Structure 1
Amino acid sequence: MALSGEHDLGGLLDDLETASKLPAKRRQTSIKPTVEKVKSALYDSGALPDELARLVELVTLRNNLDQASLGAIVRNLYPSRKVDDEAVLRVVGALGHGHLKPNLALQAHLLRWLVMVYHLLENPAVLSQLYGVLFNLLDTAAIRPQLCHLLALITRRKHVRPFRIQSILGLSRQTGSDPHLTGLLRVFKNYYPEIIVGDVTKGRAATFKHPDPEWRERVGKIQEQQVQNQGDGGTRNGFAVQHALDRKIKGGNASLFPPVHTQYAQETSVTLEEIDKVDDLVGNLENIELPTQLVAIMADPLLQKLLLLRPDAEAYSRIGNWLMACMGDVTSGDADFSLFLDMLDVVHDYVTSTKTLPLLLQSFFRRFFDFWNGVDRRDIVLETLSYTPLRDFAELYEQLFRPLERSMMDNTVASQLSLLKFYTLLLRRWTIVMQSRNRTETLSGSSIADLVGHVNKLTLTLTQNSPSAATHLTILDFYECTTILVSQPSLLQYVEITIPSALIVYRLQFGQSLVVLSRLYGILAQYKKAWEAVMAPSSLRQLLLRERQQITAFNGWLMDLCNCIWRGRAFGTSDLNAQGCRIPPSLEPVLDAYVREVDSELSLGTIFDLSHSPLMCLQSISFVRELEDAEVDRSPDELRTRHAGPVTHASLVQLADRGGLELSWQEYRLGVLRHLESNGFKGIPDLMYNTMKNLMKQGRGGKGQSR
């Protein structure tokens, strides 16, 4: 049975260390079962830093354990966290010839292990500092293949020196063009192609592939599990080039793009490949030569930083040309479209890391929409486009968003919801941009209004095609984003207020969800505050023409909603600005007659108030029940009857006369508002307290007449 956990492995290590000090003949039991348990424990959970240090010390010092056991431990040496410098130094110190050093076969295993954990090193620079030590071991044939692989991983421009080139050439001649030496020489030539010439690198060369993909997959799962358990995720070094060999080890779609490589560099040049930390980048920012294949920016964080700090129009033009050429290969059939879809993942990673969608990628997507089916990688495409910079919406729509809609809209609710979520995310990004800019007046505030106007049409279509609560909540997500902009005075100076469509408001008002109703009322309350702020004498701007045209309609909504739930005059038009929820006047008496036929005590004006509304009647009567229960707890014999519901002004008077709860009509309605707020439905009280004049005067929790 496999053992795992820190305690189990620690006890097994104690047994191993004890056995390593005794010759095999003096041990009372065989050590092999213990080694098998250690292998199982390592395979299951890996080794923590302290355990890894003990294991490395065990395999690098001469002891009495047999070579098969030591080799098995090294092959299963899975680190569960980053590998620290001490472990690396111990391994490198164990290399070479000497009586106290491990045999050469075990040294080869240790070098192979360093290759496999290279991407997990806590400080990769430690191997760079040991470059000379490692290089001088190349004449040891037994460990040369693994040593060349490790050197190929850690070689940087600063390591390539003429004496090392001569040394490798000499060894290559002696060994008959060893493919591992030839492969290392090719790495050297990448840095100095003008020095290494001739046929010396044209022979058979090692490719330096990962020694054990299954081992890599297993250690990845162990590390991932450790991150989930500890909440301590590692981050990629953003101030070092993601080298080609690194990319092969890490895998992923990054290999679809060429690696960072600077050809024709001179000895005095500063290349990206030499940069290993932030100080190097800052100190050489103006002198760094751009790599040969600039499209490597899609997968390399250091190149991304360089072009962000030092923009270059020609560089972006070259990147755009590469992407357009790739697009041409796909359209002509020379390249598989599935590979191109994989490239989208890398483009997405680039855009999300740089938080911008440059013009070259906007052009790329315009071409992409010509042959995209609107389904493959839809979420990736939409999230990437959500980083589109804030500029004139009409221009963006014609150039980018209209082709997007044409590609993905297939007359299904799913595609319409995806598009709405995209516009919601786009508005959130634009809001963040506006909040972070010091000079907000330079932004196109009308673009927000144009975006909201465009989405108004989409939301209206959605309410017709999918009148569900889930769809309504998705719609409200968008309009809540608009209230974030209009509720901030610094942004309201430059952002044009644009309200939802009237039909949207009335459809949601008469929907099937109290959550939807509460969120709708909360949004309208925020809009009302924004109108008041713009119209205040202290406002820094005046109402725009389009805003003036919306005020009458907005005031009509407020009057209609208050008439429905507060005044008991649903669908009435006698009040100033009231629109009767826009039902035809001829329909009102017909509806009223139907309501009275169903229940003679009801009327059309009251069926949507706090007591009778299908969405709020449960909350209203629950408030009364809580009061009655509290009264029973205080005086069990005082309450002789309970309210049957629904509550009206007249029923409260009759209730008190029959020995029930004494509660005035105004206290009841204010109490229902407080009850709604305490249960999370804050939007309804917000709108009432910001709209009804009497409620404004007395404030939340106040008592008084409000009609």
Structure 2
Amino acid sequence: MPSVADNGEPAVALHDALGALQKASRLTAKQRAVKVSGVVDVICQHAFERGLDPDALSAVVQIAAKKTELDQTSVTTLVKNLYPAQRVPAHVAVTLVGALGQGKGKPSPGTQNELVKWLVLVHGILDDPNVLSRLYGVLFGMLDTISIRTSLCHLLSLVTRRRHVKPFRIQQLLELSRGLGNEPALQGLLRVYRDYYPDIILGSANTTRKSFPPQPDPEWRARLNAIQEASIRDDQASLGQYNGFRVLRHGAKRSKLSAIPEVHTFQAHETSVTLEEIDSVDDFVEKLDRIEPPAQMISFLSDPLLQKFTELRPSRIATARIDLWLSACLEDEYLAVQAGRTTSSSLSDTLDGLYKHAQYTKALLPIVYSFMQVYLPVWDAVTDVDALLGLLSYLPLQPFQDAYTAYIGHAEKAVLTLGPAQCPKLLHFYEELLRHWVTSASPQPPTINQLATSSSDQSHINSLAIHVSTLSTSLLLSLPSSSNLPLTSAVLSFYECLSSSSQPHLIPIIIPQQFLVYHLAQSPSVTSLSRICGILGAYKTAFDKHPKPNSRYYPTEVTTTFNCCLKDLYNLLWIAHSLIMEPEKNVAGFLCKPPLRVALHKYLGSLDQKYSVASAFNFSCNPSLASLSASAWRAMEESEIVEKQYDRQAVNYHKGPVSQTSLQVLANRGGVDVGYEEYKVQVLEWTAARGLEGVSAFMHTTVKTLREDV
């Protein structure tokens, strides 16, 4: 038999396969000209790799939703591989619901069950979220169908809202429950009904893990997410996403493990509105004033919808209930640590919830301050390190020494005792604290003629930066260079944030210590060199844009130190004046004493007369940049040979390293004629194109000729 997979284009193969499948579904096995298994394989492979567009999805569903000549294995395989590339059209859901039940043209009971399971999987990505709600009566009416009852109960549990809970449906569920016993899925649906009307549905539904809708198969869900992200990246809806305007449900297993309860409203009545029946932003806004608070307000730590409710409709009673729960929980955990016992998982759940709340509100609850003040001194810096450091990063803008004494100092000491591996986390914490303080700072009136760090907010940020600069220098000098690359990256991230945050009369220009700049500039990593160059370039741009004169806002030693850093790095990379110390010209020479520079120069000269300490760190000889500079030169040389049509057999190729003298000699001896300045610009463009924009940015802000070219 011929195969429809022989077509080269996947879209063509899929189109042909769908056409062949439609024909095969109407013919018996003996009448078919194409092998059905091959057709199914083509469709499933395309669905798995790229997903099915709405038209293809609709075509497959139309075949699966009716009785055909296809065998059960083929139909089941098709349904299990229905990966939609986009949102599922509403008419597809209508078609599937219409296929359920008994009838001459209905698919087999096994196929119907697979179709309902598929609806459970994709109900969150329907293009019309209310389509299943409108079909609720039809779905509920088929609960007496044994073959699909379990899957149908799961689907109804996800769809049910207060408007669906009617007296006659309650009566039917109770009768089914009494007649069938403790059928798990049915008990789960009954529990959902009881959440809306606890006073009417008495007794407790016996729920187990099977009572809840099953979590989607992780592999199936991951594949669906990958397909949808690739095909509709701008669409925010996917199976694994949550829109924040429905009560969050984790299922039976996760609910039992978490210390934070899920949202349940047990005191609802017929005229009240509960959070459980909210399913959209419009619904939430319309009913905000009538929503009944849930039984346990602490659920707001893990439920985004309840968080919105508590923020938009605050009350003293709700706040007192939250504080009471947190006080009891946190006090128990603190007493356990004080007594030498390990903390429970409840503390981790609570701290994670408090951290998520802080991320949402950008503030800490009052109880958090009291807890951290007593807990951090006995904290082991291992348990809940991310949550606790995350909470500390939301400390309000205040005198740094006060925050350090009460909270930060204890955490810093605990983290540092664990060794180098945890140090980057500490620097990342300071970076997040800086971001929070920067957004909280109040602007300084521009008419006031005073130093940029004289106001309280600017002074607090300055104190934080000074502490981090001292801490970073100490840590980098304490660790061997081979193991401090993560720490170096964390330090650079902090200063990238600080240098890019500078704003006149709001965030002062706070430069790192001079020694720290020199230490980072001599890092063995070319990425670190590029990043420190980019940081200095950002500072230079900030000074250029700052109101003049700078001496009115910054002490002379600040601008002098910064100019030293600029000139030293400029001398190191751009011109052959490395490590020259000229105090009268504000050149510190990387703090290299003259006797040491002379000794280095003699050593290099003893290796080769063309070597000197002055040029030992420029683009061609710098240990971090030499290989990139060589590659840039080879590309430039090749371009010149092609453009000016040199004879490849006769041209004299440069052996390297490139210098001003070597280029002059090369031009006189039959090589390409390229100027040294042109070569250095090529190196900047070459490195910038490969992700090292920092060096180029620094040179374009400091080299006068390059600034004029921009």
Residue number among 54, 58, 68 corresponding to 1:53 in the alignment: 58
Residue number among 418, 427, 451 corresponding to 2:425 in the alignment: 418
Displacement of 1:194 in angstroms is: 2.7
Q: In the alignment, is the contact (CA less than 8 A) between 1:390 and 1:443 conserved in 2? A: no
Is 2:498 the partner of 1:482? yes
Gaps of 5+ in 2: 447-451
The structure-2 alpha-carbon separation of the partners of 1:64 and 1:670, relative to structure 1 and needing over 3 Å to count, comes to closer
Map of 1:407 onto structure 2 = 414
The structure-2 alpha-carbon separation of the partners of 1:224 and 1:252, relative to structure 1 and needing over 3 Å to count, comes to farther
The structure-2 alpha-carbon separation of the partners of 1:38 and 1:364, relative to structure 1 and needing over 3 Å to count, comes to farther
The CA RMSD measured in Å over matched residues stands at 5.5
Displacement of 1:446 in angstroms is: 3.0
Q: Partner of 2:289: helix, strand, or coil? A: coil
Distance in 2, Cα, partners of 1:576 & 1:645: 30
Residue number among 25, 28, 31 corresponding to 2:30 in the alignment: 28
Residue number among 85, 88, 91 corresponding to 2:90 in the alignment: 85
Distance in 1, Cα, partners of 2:315 & 2:91: 43
Is 2:548 the partner of 1:536? yes
Distance in 1, Cα, partners of 2:675 & 2:505: 40
The structure-2 alpha-carbon separation of the partners of 1:321 and 1:419, relative to structure 1 and needing over 3 Å to count, comes to same
Map of 2:301 onto structure 1 = 298
Is 497-506 or 33-42 further displaced after alignment? Answer: 33-42
Task: Kindly provide the amino acid, as one letter, of the partner of residue 498 in structure 2.
Answer: T
Residue number among 456, 465, 473 corresponding to 1:452 in the alignment: 465
Displacement of 1:359 in angstroms is: 5.5
The structure-2 alpha-carbon separation of the partners of 1:72 and 1:372, relative to structure 1 and needing over 3 Å to count, comes to farther
Q: In the alignment, is the contact (CA less than 8 A) between 1:330 and 1:340 conserved in 2? A: yes
The structure-2 alpha-carbon separation of the partners of 1:367 and 1:156, relative to structure 1 and needing over 3 Å to count, comes to farther
Alignment of 1:123-522 (within 5 A): 123-138=128-143, 144-169=149-174, 183-197=188-202, 201-202=203-204, 204=206, 208-209=210-211, 216-227=217-228, 229-230=230-231, 232=233, 234-235=237-238, 236-244=241-249, 247-248=250-251, 257-312=260-315, 315=318, 318-319=321-322, 321-323=324-326, 325-327=328-330, 332=336, 337=344, 341=348, 373-375=380-382, 392-410=399-417, 412-428=419-435, 444-464=457-477, 465-467=479-481, 470=485, 472=488, 474-486=490-502, 491-512=503-524, 516-522=528-534
Q: In the alignment, is the contact (CA less than 8 A) between 1:327 and 1:367 conserved in 2? A: no
Is 419-428 or 383-392 further displaced after alignment? Answer: 383-392
| Alignment size in residue pairs | 675
Q: In the alignment, is the contact (CA less than 8 A) between 2:61 and 2:95 conserved in 1? A: yes
Task: Kindly provide the amino acid, as one letter, of the partner of residue 155 in structure 1.
Answer: T
Map of 1:554 onto structure 2 = 562
Q: In the alignment, is the contact (CA less than 8 A) between 1:12 and 1:34 conserved in 2? A: no
The structure-2 alpha-carbon separation of the partners of 1:309 and 1:19, relative to structure 1 and needing over 3 Å to count, comes to same
Is 491-500 or 427-436 further displaced after alignment? Answer: 427-436
Q: Partner of 1:263: helix, strand, or coil? A: coil
Task: Kindly provide the amino acid, as one letter, of the partner of residue 57 in structure 1.
Answer: Q
Is 30-39 or 215-224 further displaced after alignment? Answer: 30-39
The structure-2 alpha-carbon separation of the partners of 1:217 and 1:519, relative to structure 1 and needing over 3 Å to count, comes to closer
The structure-2 alpha-carbon separation of the partners of 1:586 and 1:239, relative to structure 1 and needing over 3 Å to count, comes to closer
Identity of aligned residues (%): 31
Alignment of 1:506-655 (within 5 A): 506-512=518-524, 516-531=528-543, 533-534=545-546, 536-537=548-549, 542-543=552-553, 547-558=555-566, 560-561=568-569, 566=575, 568=577, 570-573=579-582, 575-579=584-588, 581-583=590-592
Is 120-129 or 599-608 further displaced after alignment? Answer: 599-608
Q: Partner of 1:259: helix, strand, or coil? A: coil
Map of 2:449 onto structure 1 = none
The structure-2 alpha-carbon separation of the partners of 1:102 and 1:195, relative to structure 1 and needing over 3 Å to count, comes to same
Displacement of 1:249 in angstroms is: 8.8
Q: Partner of 2:288: helix, strand, or coil? A: coil
Q: In the alignment, is the contact (CA less than 8 A) between 1:108 and 1:143 conserved in 2? A: yes
Q: In the alignment, is the contact (CA less than 8 A) between 2:109 and 2:147 conserved in 1? A: yes
Displacement of 1:196 in angstroms is: 3.1
Q: In the alignment, is the contact (CA less than 8 A) between 2:40 and 2:74 conserved in 1? A: no
Distance in 2, Cα, partners of 1:434 & 1:322: 33
User: 1:563-610 deviations in whole A, cap 9, x for unaligned?
Assistant: 666484844345244445445577666667767777788876676677
Q: In the alignment, is the contact (CA less than 8 A) between 1:253 and 1:345 conserved in 2? A: no
Displacement of 1:264 in angstroms is: 1.0
Distance in 1, Cα, partners of 2:623 & 2:186: 81
The structure-2 alpha-carbon separation of the partners of 1:289 and 1:417, relative to structure 1 and needing over 3 Å to count, comes to same
Distance in 2, Cα, partners of 1:517 & 1:556: 17
Distance in 1, Cα, partners of 2:388 & 2:581: 48
Distance in 2, Cα, partners of 1:529 & 1:135: 67
The structure-2 alpha-carbon separation of the partners of 1:220 and 1:657, relative to structure 1 and needing over 3 Å to count, comes to closer
Task: Kindly provide the amino acid, as one letter, of the partner of residue 230 in structure 1.
Answer: S
Task: Kindly provide the amino acid, as one letter, of the partner of residue 507 in structure 2.
Answer: V
Displacement of 1:105 in angstroms is: 7.1
Q: Partner of 1:285: helix, strand, or coil? A: helix
Displacement of 1:414 in angstroms is: 2.5
The structure-2 alpha-carbon separation of the partners of 1:184 and 1:549, relative to structure 1 and needing over 3 Å to count, comes to same
Distance in 1, Cα, partners of 2:527 & 2:73: 65
Displacement of 1:337 in angstroms is: 4.2
The structure-2 alpha-carbon separation of the partners of 1:136 and 1:569, relative to structure 1 and needing over 3 Å to count, comes to closer
User: 1:590-633 deviations in whole A, cap 9, x for unaligned?
Assistant: 66776777778887667667787666788899999968995995
Task: Kindly provide the amino acid, as one letter, of the partner of residue 494 in structure 1.
Answer: L
Displacement of 1:456 in angstroms is: 0.8
The structure-2 alpha-carbon separation of the partners of 1:574 and 1:20, relative to structure 1 and needing over 3 Å to count, comes to closer
Displacement of 1:698 in angstroms is: 9.3
Distance in 2, Cα, partners of 1:43 & 1:344: 44
Q: Partner of 2:408: helix, strand, or coil? A: helix
Task: Kindly provide the amino acid, as one letter, of the partner of residue 543 in structure 1.
Answer: Y
Map of 1:705 onto structure 2 = none
